[in-house]
Amino acid sequence: MTESKKPAGSAMRPVLDPDAELSDATRKVLRQALEDPRRFAGRPANPLWAAVPLLARGGAGVAAAGVVWWWTGGLEIADPAADSSTIVGAQDHLLQEAVDLAHTLLSVWPLAAGVVAVLCAGLIADRALYNGQLRRLAAVQQHLVHPKDLTADAQELLARARRAMTAVLDSRVHREKWLDAQRNEAAFPRQEWAIAQDLRDYSRVARKDQRVPQETVNDTVAELLAARRGVLATSLHGIERRVAALEAYASQVAEADARYAEVREIERLDAGSDELLDLLARTAVDDLAVAEIEALTDEAAVVASTFTKALESAKQAAAAALPLQDVA
């Protein structure tokens, strides 16, 4: 789903309806989902549940810290009047200092509670955003045809159509505007979408038909099954004819590309004809040199004429493969 105008060859990616009215945010999420499908594999859930694990662990820790802070605040281990020079007194004094230090450190528990609250709010907001992205993806599914929606033969037809369109768009005669480039770029996405839709409908019926027993002793049921298979074959053949038209167009464009390359090569060689004529005129005593140069010129004219015919054939193939209503 690259949404670019150029089809991605035989890469099995979903086909997007080019006329779908999607917001920039939806298109962004769709691109991310196509690049990393596992990232959006979940379902919308209550955003509050996203904060439950942190709230349980963090809240329990903050509550424990608050209780210990309160408890150590009134804990008196050492008697202020006791003699600290004795071993017992010194130990009590050290324990009292440790308790006081712990109480001081634990006095930040309200700040920790605030941090936990902020983190929980962030998790809730992030989950709400993710839910919105999932809903956008769910809404756009009606404008997509996924490879998993197609049977193997339907996938192959779609891949053939993409290869043909890619060949045209990658051709030199298309890039240099010898063909109707604007028409190609407008019509190809719609052609791809129409073919993908028809292949999806065919695949849905074909899969249902596969679950039906193919052999029966009942003549009436056998005739019905044969009729169903005939309809499916006719439907697939109709789609294949459109794909074949695209392939014929790509073949004609390839021929025009080859002739165009010859024209360019002849033009490059002909660019030095004047110097070659001067050189041969100085060294030849008859008209042979002039005849050789004229032969080069005639060859260039023949190749140019061949290119013109090939280009015209490509345009006629485009008219067959891309009806005018497709670009409306």
Q: Is the pTM of this model over 0.75?
A: no
Residue 219 has a pLDDT of 61
Which strand (E) or helix (H) includes residue 303?
Answer: helix 288-321
Measured at the alpha carbon of residue 290, what is the angle toward residues 289 and 294, in degrees to the nearest 5?
120
User: Is residue 7 packed enough to be buried (19+ CB in 10 Å), middle (13-18) or exposed (0-12)?
Assistant: buried
Residue with tokens 């032969």: 295
Higher pLDDT, 7 or 118: 118
Which distant-in-sequence residues (6+ apart) come within 8 Å of 70 by Cβ? Answer: none
* Nearest in space to 145 (alpha carbons), one of 2, 1, 317: 1
**Count of residues in the chain:** 328
Measured at the alpha carbon of residue 79, what is the angle toward residues 73 and 80, in degrees to the nearest 5?
90
* Euclidean distance between CA atoms 298 and 300, whole angstroms: 5
103: left (phi over 0), alpha (psi -120 to 50) or beta: alpha
* Euclidean distance between CA atoms 320 and 243, whole angstroms: 11
| Per-residue pLDDT tens digits for 211-257 | 555 555 566 656 666 666 777 888 888 889 888 888 888 888 888 88
| Per-residue pLDDT tens digits for 167-219 | 989 988 888 888 888 888 888 898 899 899 999 999 988 888 765 555 555 66
| Per-residue pLDDT tens digits for 52-90 | 888 888 888 888 888 888 887 777 765 655 555 666 666
Radius of gyration of the chain (CA): 38
Residue 115 has pLDDT above 50, yes or no: yes
Which distant-in-sequence residues (6+ apart) come within 8 Å of 61 by Cβ? Answer: 112
* Euclidean distance between CA atoms 5 and 187, whole angstroms: 9
Answer whether 133's CB lies under 8 Å from 40's CB: yes
Residue 8 three-state SS: coil
| Per-residue pLDDT tens digits for 6-35 | 444 344 788 888 888 877 888 888 877 777
Which distant-in-sequence residues (6+ apart) come within 8 Å of 205 by Cβ? Answer: 232, 235
| Per-residue pLDDT tens digits for 82-102 | 555 666 666 767 777 787 788
Residue 107 has pLDDT above 90, yes or no: no
Residue 278 three-state SS: helix
* Nearest in space to 1 (alpha carbons), one of 25, 18, 24: 18
